[in-house]
Structure 1
C-alpha cells in the first residue's frame, strides 16, 4: 500500500495490519536487524543483498550476523511467519515495494572520500521499479547532500520528485546493540523532501521506535546529525588523548583526574587510549573537512591527527617499558592482545592494532597476536604470528578492550613471560595488581 499522502497515524495502522511492503537493500550488520524489526512489527519485508549465501541463509530462517543478540530468534520467527524473505534481485524487489530503504556499506579512502558506487547501484535498481507514491529512504551515513544527489537517478523511472518521496533517516546503531538501538535506545532522526513524505516516514519509524522521531527541516540537516555525532566523539577522544599525554609528562594519572572532573555535570572527558577505529568515528570528520569551502575546520583536522598518532605513542610506551627491564625493542618478543577495533566485535576497519603491529615490526620486534574473536589467518593477514600463551614474551601490548582481557591471569603470565612488561592501551587492567606481581605497567595517561 502506498504511504505517500497518509498521515502518521494512518501509516502506523496499515503498517501493523501488514499492508506495507518494505525492501531493505543491504543485509549486513545494520540492514538485517532493521529488516527483521520492520517485519516483527507487521510489515512484509524483502531483504536484498548481493551475497547469495546470505540470501540463502535468511530464506532458511538463519541469521548470519552472529554478534547481534536476539537476531537469531527475530529472523527465524519472521521468516517462518512469511513476513521476511531475501533475494538478490533488487529490481524485482523494488517493483514489489512501497518503501525502499538503502543501507548498503559505503567505502572510503584514507581521507574519508566516499566511494558511493554501492549506493548509486541500488538507486539505479530502485529506479527500474519505482512507482508513484513510493518512498525511498537512505539510512547509510553519507556526506550531507548525498541523498539528494540520487534524485536524477531515481527520476530515470519517469517520475519526478514529489510523485515519489525521498528521505534520510540515519542509522544510529552499533554492532552488538543494533536491535536495542533501532527499537528505542535513541529517537530516530528523519528529514524528507516535502511535508507529506516527512509525515509518512515519521509514521514508519514511530511504529518501530519507542523513543519516537525527531523531524528535521531538510534531508541535508538529517544527514548532518549523524556526521556531527561522529565528529563530536572524535574531537572529544582527541582532547582526552592530548590531556592524557600532558598527564604523562607531569606525573599524573589521567584517569584519576578525568573521573574526578567528570563529577561536574558539564564535563564529559572521554577515555584515552591506543587510537580510534571502525567505520564511523575516524571517517565522518573527513566528510566535514572535505566539504568545507570557505571555512577551515582546524579543530577537526587536529583531532584526526592526534587520534591517528596514538598507535605510535603505544609503540613509544612499549620501548619505554622494555628499557625499564633492560631490553631493546629490536629482537624482543611482543604479544599484541586484540586485532579488532573494539571489544566484542569482529571488525578490523581502521583498527589501531594494524599500525601498531606494522611499527613494532619496523623496529625489528618479533610480533605475535591473539584475539578471542579471531583466527590464526587474521593475525597473519596483519603481519603477526598467532600465539595463545605467554611463554618467552618480553612485553604484552593490549590494543582491544575485549572482556576476556579484563580477567587475564597475571600470576600465570608472570611465570610464563620472559620479561614482565604490560602496555595497556585500553585501560582494562588494575595497575596496582600488575605492579605487585612485578610487572612494569604502562598505559596512556599514566606516568
Structure 2
C-alpha cells in the first residue's frame, strides 16, 4: 500500500464541498495516472491533462513513452491530437513512463484504458487489465479512485478487479473507490468524443465511487454524465452497444444476400424501410472488423452461463460475409468463362475502416486469405498499412492501375482510392464494391455493389 496517502487530498470520501472538489480537480490537486497510451488511451490522457494539468501516462512500450515525452504523437489520423500532446508535454501537464507501480504511487485518480483480449478459442482474456490492477494496488492509498474505461465482460469490476485490488493493496471496502466509466470513442474523432460527443456513463461499486467519478467526468465532458446503479450495469451498457451493432450489421449483411434472388437493390429497400421511425437497419458491407464489435459478443457468449443464440448467429453471419464477397466475385468471373484459380485479384484496403490504421479482425484480410485459398494471385493496397502477415503482395495505391488484374475488390473505401480511373480497366475486369463507395453516375463500365447488384 502507498505511504503517500496524505500528499494529495482525496476525491473519494472527501469531506470538502462539491464546489471545492471541482476546483481542486481542475487545479490538479488530484493527480491522475492513465494506464495505456494507445489510440484511445492517449486521447483520454490528453483530455485529463487539459482539464487537470497533472497527468502521468503509463505504457509498456518504451518507444511510445519516449515519443510522448518528446511531445510527439504516435497515434495517427486523430484531428488535434498532435498539437495537444506537444503543447501539454511542453507545459508539463503530461508526461509518460513505463513504470506503472511508481506512477500509481503519485496518483489519486487511476484511469485504466488497456485492451481486454480474446484468446484463439474466443475466451475473454482480462490478463492485461488485471496486470495493470496489480500495479495500481502497489500504490493504492485510502481515498484513491480507480476509473476503468477498458471494455470488460459484465461483472469484471465487481467479481475480479475489486477483490484483486483489496487483496493486493491490503485496503478494505470503502477505503478506495472503483467505478466503471466506459470509453465511447471512435477512431478519427477520439478527442471530440472524449470531450463530449456522447453522454458519459459512470457506475461505481458503491455510491461514493459513483459520485466521485461523476464529479470528475463532469469536469472533463461538455455532455451529460449518466450515473447508473453499479459497475456491472455500466459494463453492460458498453457491451450492449457493441452487441446491437453486431446483430444489426448481421441483419444487413444477410439481407444483402437476397439481392440476386429477388432481383432488387437491397440497399434501396433498406434506405426506404428506415424512413419508418422504428426501423434502423445498418448498411451491408464486407463483414465486421476492428478491436470492438467482433469481440464484444464473446464477453457474453463465453463469460455468462445464459445461452445467447442470437448473438452467436450474428457472429457467424458476419464472420462468413468476407467469404460471401469472394463467392460473388467467383461467380462473376465464372460467368465470363474464367476461373478464380489462377486469376489475379487486387484487394483495395486492408484496414477495417477508411482512414484508420487498424487491421484487427479486418474483413479485408479474410477476403485476401479466402482468395489465396482458392488459388488466386492476390495483391493488396492500402495507404496506411502494408500487407505483412497477409497472403497478398502489397502495392502502392498509385501503382494499382499498373497491375493486369482480372478482378478488383474495394474492401475499404480510403479516400486515396478516389483517384483511381475505374473506366481504365478493361470491360473483362470484374469490379466488386463492398462499401457502395463508387459513384457510378459517370462510370461507363460494370460494377457489382454488395447489396445493390450489378
TM range (shorter): over 0.9
CA offset at residue 152 of structure 1?
2.6
User: For residues 195-228 of structure 1, what are the alpha-carbon distances to aligned partners after superposition, in whole Å with 9 as ceiling and x for unaligned?
Assistant: 1121111011000111121101010000000000
CA offset at residue 431 of structure 1?
4.1
Q: Which residue of 1 aligns with 2:387?
A: 379
Of 287, 304, 307, which aligns to 2:315? 304
Distance 2:228 2:449 in 1: 46
Q: Which runs of 5+ in 1 are unaligned?
A: none
CA offset at residue 106 of structure 1?
2.3
Output the TM-score relative to the length of structure 1: 0.94
CA offset at residue 366 of structure 1?
0.7
Of 60, 64, 86, which aligns to 1:54? 64
Aligned residues: 438
Distance 1:366 1:418 in 2: 20
Q: Which residue of 1 aligns with 2:433?
A: 424
1:230–1:284 contact (8 Å) kept in structure 2: yes
Of 400, 403, 406, which aligns to 1:389? 400
Q: Which residue of 2 aligns with 1:193?
A: 205
CA offset at residue 63 of structure 1?
1.0
Q: Which residue of 1 aligns with 2:42?
A: 32
1:127–1:154 contact (8 Å) kept in structure 2: yes
**Are 1:351 and 2:397 matched, yes or no?**
no
Output the TM-score relative to the length of structure 2: 0.93
Distance 1:93 1:176, change over 3 A: same
147-156 or 277-286: bigger deviation? 147-156
Distance 1:248 1:214 in 2: 46
Q: Which residue of 1 aligns with 2:3?
A: none
Q: Which residue of 1 aligns with 2:374?
A: 363
CA offset at residue 137 of structure 1?
1.2
Q: Which residue of 2 aligns with 1:209?
A: 221
1:8–1:199 contact (8 Å) kept in structure 2: no
User: For residues 53-94 of structure 1, what are the alpha-carbon distances to aligned partners after superposition, in whole Å with 9 as ceiling and x for unaligned?
Assistant: 111111111111122110111111111111111111111111
CA offset at residue 324 of structure 1?
3.1
Distance 2:302 2:356 in 1: 29
Q: Which residue of 2 aligns with 1:134?
A: 144
**Are 1:438 and 2:450 matched, yes or no?**
no
Of 277, 281, 284, which aligns to 2:293? 281
Distance 1:118 1:8, change over 3 A: farther
Q: What do you get for the CA RMSD once the two structures are aligned?
A: 1.6
User: For residues 86-119 of structure 1, what are the alpha-carbon distances to aligned partners after superposition, in whole Å with 9 as ceiling and x for unaligned?
Assistant: 1111111111000101111222124532222211
User: For residues 145-189 of structure 1, what are the alpha-carbon distances to aligned partners after superposition, in whole Å with 9 as ceiling and x for unaligned?
Assistant: 112211232122121121000110011111111101101100111
> Aligned runs of 1:288-299 on 2, under 5 Å?
288-293=300-305, 295-299=306-310
> Aligned runs of 1:29-108 on 2, under 5 Å?
29-108=39-118
Distance 1:33 1:355 in 2: 30
1:406–1:428 contact (8 Å) kept in structure 2: no
SS in 1 for 2:32: strand
Distance 1:50 1:380, change over 3 A: closer
Distance 1:34 1:184, change over 3 A: same
